[in-house]
Amino acid sequence: MPRSSEPLRKLGFLTIGLFDAGDPRPGHESTLEVIRFGEELGFDSAWVRHRHLQHGVSSPVALLAAATQRTSRIHLGTAVIPLGWENPLRLAEDLATVDVLSGGRLNPGVSVGPPFHFDHVKGALYPDTADQEDFGYGRVKRLLDLVRGEPASDFSGTRGFEVFSDRVQPHSPGLGRRLWYGGGSLASARWAGQNGMNFLTSSVVKAEESEDFEQVQLSHVREFRAHHPDGDKARVSQGLVVIPTDGATAAQREKYLAYAESRTPRTATPQGPARMMFARDLVGTSDEIAAALHAHAAFQEIDEVAFALPFTFEHEDYLQILTDIATRLGPALGWSPASTG
């Protein structure tokens, strides 16, 4: 049932973490500073995109390990780790380690499917097993089981002076409840619900039963909850690009509007053979964006969001956008900042 009268409960943001190939440290430091700044503003969560063989964060788990030492409260997420590039056992160890370091604040988001440009990278990624790798939901299930404490070995005990466990170490008991699936189809929404995960709705979805983005995203929310043990209480976080302009300069407003305009044509109709639909970027004052969101069919049924920051803006732009989201847009949606004390 629609829950549009309920205030927004959790407010997060998502960043891609771009950097200069010739000097990558400043870009990574900028991302860490944005996360720290988000905590200072009272955001509930900060999420990092995952990019392989590009000039964006290729190892969000490592970056978030650093973020655990610069923050104390904000939840830290990945949106999303493509599991086709990962060994689920090794990833489970890394995730549990970072969760322990964070004090239980890690929210790993994952997805499945063959690695992007697989034919070009399989020789480096899986030189001997490319044809045997499982890139379906079974790969997520392996990760889920390992994070949740299922056996990873048929041996446990002492050999010599060393003690061995039969499950992933360290084990972080709450991490299994904070795993998210990032999906853009009815099948992925259904699978995530059936397997008790949380669900990250995508700003890129398959046009299966409709060519209206809002209705497609709404169908995913409902499909997920219809198959989740927690039903309507199952956690869903909505992903959209929002760019408030309340505190922006004239030059920033012009840049933001040009950015959105350049991306608008792809939102009109399904794109490519997979019939992918893209969300429209929301640019304007916080009051204008809040009105658009209150009218958004999918937003009316969720109480968590992770608003995506645009790809190619400057550090100062991100600080302005985050400030407006936290101080103007969030309150307009009924959200209250977390205590920063």
β-partners of residue 284 are 244
User: What torsion, rounded to 10 degrees, do the Cα atoms 63, 102, 225, 83 define?
Assistant: 40
Q: Is 197 within the bounds of a domain? A: no
Count CB-CB contacts under 10 A for residue 26. 11
pTM over 0.75: yes
Read off the pLDDT of residues 132-182 as tens digits, 9 standing for 90 and up.
999 999 999 999 999 999 999 999 999 999 999 999 999 999 999 999 999
Read off the pLDDT of residues 289-309 as tens digits, 9 standing for 90 and up.
999 999 999 999 999 999 999
**Structural domain count of the chain:** 1
Tell me which amino acid residue 235 is.
R
- Residue 341 — very low, low, confident or very high, per pLDDT cuts 50/70/90? low
Q: Is 121 within the bounds of a domain? A: yes
Read off the pLDDT of residues 245-301 as tens digits, 9 standing for 90 and up.
999 999 999 999 999 999 999 999 999 999 999 999 999 999 999 999 999 999 999
Q: Is 207 within the bounds of a domain? A: no
CATH number for position 39: 3.20.20.30
Q: Is 226 within the bounds of a domain? A: no
pLDDT at 5: 54
End-to-end CA distance of the chain: 36
User: What torsion, rounded to 10 degrees, do the Cα atoms 221, 225, 227, 229 define?
Assistant: 150
Residue positions counted in the chain = 341
Q: Is 311 within the bounds of a domain? A: yes
| Residue span of the structural domain in which 56 resides | 10-172+237-332
User: What are the two backbone dihedrals, phi and then psi, of residue 276, each rounded to the nearest 5 degrees?
Assistant: -85, 135
Q: Is 125 within the bounds of a domain? A: yes
- Give alpha helix (H) positions in the chain: 25-41, 60-68, 88-102, 118-125, 137-147, 186-194, 213-227, 250-263, 286-294, 315-324, 330-332
β-partners of residue 158 are 163
Q: Is 228 within the bounds of a domain? A: no
Read off the pLDDT of residues 206-229 as tens digits, 9 standing for 90 and up.
999 899 999 999 999 999 999 999
Percent of the chain with pLDDT strictly greater than 90:
95
- Residue 6 — very low, low, confident or very high, per pLDDT cuts 50/70/90? confident
Q: Is 167 within the bounds of a domain? A: yes
Kind of pairing between the strands at 10-15 and 45-48: parallel
